[in-house]
Chain A
Amino acid sequence: MSAGNMRLTLKVWRQSNTNTQGGFENYNLDGVSPDMSFLEMFDILNEQLIEENKEPVAFDHDCREGICGMCSMFINGQPHGPLKGVTTCQLHMRSFQDGDTITVEPWRAGAFPVIKDLVVDRDGFDRIISAGGFVSVNTGNAQDANNLPIAKEDADDAFSAAACIGCGACVAACKNASAMLFVSAKISQLALLPQGQAERSIRAEKMVAQMDAEGFGNCTNTHACSAECPKEISFENIARMNREYLGAKVSSKAL
């Protein structure tokens, strides 16, 4: 099964660091097996480059199971490539044809500067969470877990929103580089749960303010974000966030 026989041409974005200009390089690759993952195909490319004394392509990855949110390739014009609901690391070469040319770029967004080649800086996401993506409960203050029954539907909906892996594909997919899907998933998760109620308004205000400060763009309802999201986070979250935000503004205490 592992005998690889696909031949590919890869057009890969190379950029030495944030301050230099990048450009595409073409590489030919043989011996690719349809059972390989997209990143294993990149491993082979890198082994080949090392043999040729060329610097390997830098790319982010860790779990290779579609859950850590680290991998981030923009493949043939789509974040995480052609399959719906699949991250780059879970994409397999059987989704491509022998002889294909595949273009691979980093996430492109002003708020995600390129660090090197396909690696970008997503620290903005962490800062948005720091602004309000939590319940303010110190360790040791919790009551017995079953003292707080939560309707199964609410728990399930909160879970669906919480399944976001924070990869940034939504930003990369959006022509405005908006981070609304990411931000709204966290706001929704906590707004749907009783634990999140106390800070509901201030959370929405602060997270949105931080999102704007990071330079992410506005949402113009193209829905590209949720269409490309590897975890299929629903666009409904954005509507919920808008309601939360407007509600918060009306009764604003934060400003």
Chain B
Amino acid sequence: MATSSRLDAKIPQGSLEDKWEKYKSSVPLVNPANKRNIEVIVVGTGLAGASAAATLAEMGYKVKAFCFQDSPRRAHSIAAQGGINAAKNYQNDGDSVHRLFYDTIKGGDYRSREANVHRLSEVSGNIIDQCVAQGVPFAREYGGLLSNRSFGGVQVQRTFYAAGQTGQQLLLGAYSGLQRQVGMGTITMYNRHEMLDVVKIDGKCRGIIARNLITGELERHSAHAVLLCTGGYGNVFYLSTNAMGSNVTAAWKAHKRGAFFANPCFTQIHPTCIPVWGEHQSKLTLMSESLRNDGRIWVPKKQNDTRAGNAIPEDERDYYLERRYPAFGNLVPRDIASRAAKERCDAGYGVGTSKLAVFLDFSAAFHRYGQGEANKNNITNASESQILEWGKAVVKEKYGNLFDMYKQITGEDPYEVPMRIYPAVHYTMGGLWVDYNLMTTVPGLYSLGEANFSDHGANRLGASALMQGLADGYFVIPITVGAYLAGEIRTGHISTDHEAFVKTEKEVKDRIEKLISIQGNTSPELFHRRLGKIMWDKCGMGRNEKGLKEAIVEIRALREEFWKDVKVMGKIGDFNPELDKANRVADFIELGELMCIDALTRNESCGGHFREEYQTEEGEALRDDENYMFVSAWESIDTEKWELHKEELIYDNIKIAQRSYK
């Protein structure tokens, strides 16, 4: 298969190891005097956006940054729990840039670009250095050096963390860099603003239309380049671990204006989340993957066993991950762990009232750590209960906030009874298609972080999203954007009176007026919930041709109903969360359709995309490398109409194999 002529990934020549270094020294630069006249819009202030905005401003560009929350510090990255990877090899356990590269490509089930992933691995170490320099308080050992833990899909310890609040600490670091530039006047921050469209002039992206969420006014903002760092679209499923406001609108609007959307069906279902409790639930809560370092996952060996976890004796428990995957055990990658949980529950071994849960049990860890404490203190006659107490104290130090959160939500104490967990939508590997420079198919429009598709293939490894967001923002875009902006030094200030701005603003205004004027019977929330149910049932953990075809019909019908029957309260020129929500749900509905089309087109199973028709006898994902070793990049043509462009994936440096964690 050949790559579509519409897609040029612009991967630099040279050997994999040298590409980035060589490219860095050859990419055009913009001199300091010119930088002052070049404006860059950064939409989003999560790890990707905050780090990009701060760094570009430090370099001398004039930056405008946008977020819809009331402060840049509240971007969804703040919620990341477990950690961030880097190939530092501080543990001397054989880690290296190459190993991180290899693990990421394999973890992604051979559906990501070698050159991008290698660059990510190369800069990973610099991220940790930068964060420490900013004062990010990572966990440390008694000797004062940085501590590491393990995450799924790897056999080294390369994950840096700050208790269960790693995302918070990294984001506050990037945010402090951003606010420093705000104070210096090099960044203008627009919080409580939502980007609602991209403005193009002569084919180039020249700015955005944003809604001031306090006054409801539409604003035009121009720039020489626009960076979309707007996060993932997991909320298309309604229930997910994402923050309530996370949405696809910015990326979707870019898509409608010509940016191709890549691999939309590649979504990650995280194996360890607190199970759904009821109909009015608004979101799902993650229990970090780091818990699988110490927790053991099991179900009863007997079907429909209603006994409490603690009442089930050891020999009646099935530690199914350890049984099926002895080499990686509880630390298999997420897609595999999630499917294994679903398989057990579907087969009737689930626990809890809903039967859609498995146990995550720490009793062995309490013992092990407790015994370790006893040994450390030379206590040979400690009682069983003392050992348990000490063990619990060690676990509390590692995961205390997660245990508290579990207790607060479920009302059960995980120090006393095993946690109950079930998979939930968590992350989206798909996103805007970008080339090596992180530019979309629209010149001047870039995408960073979870919003792009670039590094994780069909499945992301734990602790790699934070790494990618900060790699993109701190170390990649500041270099690659020069390749384009060097050609913009003569452009001068772009006037927002240009007819393209007038026209785009009018289109945004018309849509908002339409939404408010329908005054139907159903709230945006209820439409969202219905969409989520279709997506979860038919485009979730398992997908098949029949279900996907049904889903496409149902989603189209839902879209039509939405535009006839949505009920949006409140006024246009006002603070109006209902209107914001309606706008977002309308875009999610369109995206949902494309996700199903993408899933239907990909007649193979890979990573998080599990087509039930394509599996091995043992129930593992069955890839079809001959026919599907490509990135699907969708071009929007019209309502219900897309054209598929393929980017062939070429592996020169890695031997492709069936992914095995056994």
CB distance from B432 to the nearest CB of A (A): 23
Q: From residue 141 to 200 of chain A, which have CB atoms closer than 8 A to chain B?
A: 141-146, 148-152, 155-156, 158-159, 162-163, 165-166, 189-190, 193, 195-196
The residue of chain A having its C-beta at the shortest distance from the C-beta of B523 within the complex is: A50
Residues of B within 8 A of A53 (CB): 569
B482 at the interface (CB under 8 A from A): no
Pick the residue among A4, A56, A144, A155 that contacts B280 (CB under 8 A).
A4
Would you call B78 and A68 a contact (CB within 8 A)? Answer: yes
Residues of B within 8 A of A149 (CB): 140, 143-145
CB distance from A145 to the nearest CB of B (A): 4
CB distance from B186 to the nearest CB of A (A): 11
A221 at the interface (CB under 8 A from B): no
Q: Known A65-B79, A67-B78, A162-B169; judge A133-B176 contact (CB<8 A).
A: yes
Q: How far is the CA of A137 from the CA of B130 in the complex (A)?
A: 8
Would you call A86 and B78 a contact (CB within 8 A)? Answer: no
Would you call B144 and A152 a contact (CB within 8 A)? Answer: yes
Would you call B74 and A69 a contact (CB within 8 A)? Answer: yes
Would you call B176 and A62 a contact (CB within 8 A)? Answer: no
A63 at the interface (CB under 8 A from B): yes
Q: How far is the CA of A166 from the CA of B58 in the complex (A)?
A: 25
Q: How far is the CA of A67 from the CA of B133 in the complex (A)?
A: 23
Residues of B within 8 A of A212 (CB): none
Residues of B within 8 A of A158 (CB): 135, 137
Q: How far is the CA of A85 from the CA of B567 in the complex (A)?
A: 38
Residues of A within 8 A of B169 (CB): 159, 162
Would you call A58 and B575 a contact (CB within 8 A)? Answer: yes
The residue of chain B having its C-beta at the shortest distance from the C-beta of A134 within the complex is: B176
Residues of A within 8 A of B578 (CB): 50, 56
Pick the residue among A44, A54, A137, A156 that contacts B134 (CB under 8 A).
A137
Would you call B70 and A43 a contact (CB within 8 A)? Answer: no
B172 at the interface (CB under 8 A from A): yes
Pick the residue among A39, A138, A163, A193 that contacts B58 (CB under 8 A).
A138
Would you call A2 and B168 a contact (CB within 8 A)? Answer: no
CB distance from A37 to the nearest CB of B (A): 7
B139 at the interface (CB under 8 A from A): yes
CB distance from B482 to the nearest CB of A (A): 14
CB distance from B94 to the nearest CB of A (A): 18
The residue of chain A having its C-beta at the shortest distance from the C-beta of B568 within the complex is: A50
Q: At the interface with chain B, which of A98-106, A122-130, A234-242? A: A122-130
B266 at the interface (CB under 8 A from A): no
Q: How far is the CA of A47 from the CA of B328 in the complex (A)?
A: 46
A10 at the interface (CB under 8 A from B): no
Would you call B72 and A126 a contact (CB within 8 A)? Answer: yes
Pick the residue among B128, B177, B280 that contacts A44 (CB under 8 A).
B280
Q: Mark B329-366, 1 if CB is under 8 A from A, else 0.
A: 00000000000000000000000010000000000000
Q: Known A35-B277, A67-B79; judge A130-B179 contact (CB<8 A).
A: yes
B252 at the interface (CB under 8 A from A): no
CB distance from B550 to the nearest CB of A (A): 27
Residues of B within 8 A of A165 (CB): 168
Residues of A within 8 A of B408 (CB): 66, 86, 90, 92
CB distance from A210 to the nearest CB of B (A): 9
Q: From residue 28 to 74 of chain A, which have CB atoms closer than 8 A to chain B?
A: 33, 35-37, 39-40, 43-44, 47, 49-50, 53-56, 58, 60-70
Residues of A within 8 A of B1 (CB): none
Q: Mark B382-419, 1 if CB is under 8 A from A, else 0.
A: 00000000000000000000001100110100000000
In the A-B complex, the 10 residue pairs with the smallest Cβ-Cβ separation, listed nearest first, are A2-B278, A149-B144, A130-B183, A134-B176, A142-B133, A142-B129, A159-B137, A145-B132, A158-B137, A139-B55
Residues of B within 8 A of A (CB): 51, 54-55, 58, 69-74, 76, 78-79, 88, 90, 125-126, 128-135, 137-146, 162-163, 165, 167-169, 172, 175-177, 179-180, 182-183, 189, 191, 214, 243-245, 277-283, 285, 353, 404-405, 408-409, 411, 474-475, 478, 523, 525-526, 567, 569-570, 574-575, 577-578
- Given A43-B525, A193-B135, A195-B134, list of 12 further CB < 8 A pairs? A50-B578, A62-B243, A62-B244, A126-B72, A134-B176, A135-B135, A135-B176, A139-B55, A140-B475, A146-B90, A149-B143, A159-B163
Can you give 27 contacting A-B residue pairs, CB < 8 Å?
A: A35-B277, A56-B569, A62-B243, A65-B243, A68-B69, A68-B78, A68-B79, A90-B408, A115-B575, A119-B575, A126-B71, A129-B179, A131-B183, A133-B176, A137-B134, A139-B130, A142-B133, A143-B133, A155-B137, A155-B138, A156-B137, A159-B137, A162-B137, A162-B169, A166-B73, A193-B137, A195-B134
Residues of A within 8 A of B (CB): 1-2, 4, 16-17, 33, 35-37, 39-40, 43-44, 47, 49-50, 53-56, 58, 60-70, 85-86, 90, 92, 94, 115-116, 119, 121-123, 125-126, 129-131, 133-146, 148-152, 155-156, 158-159, 162-163, 165-166, 189-190, 193, 195-196
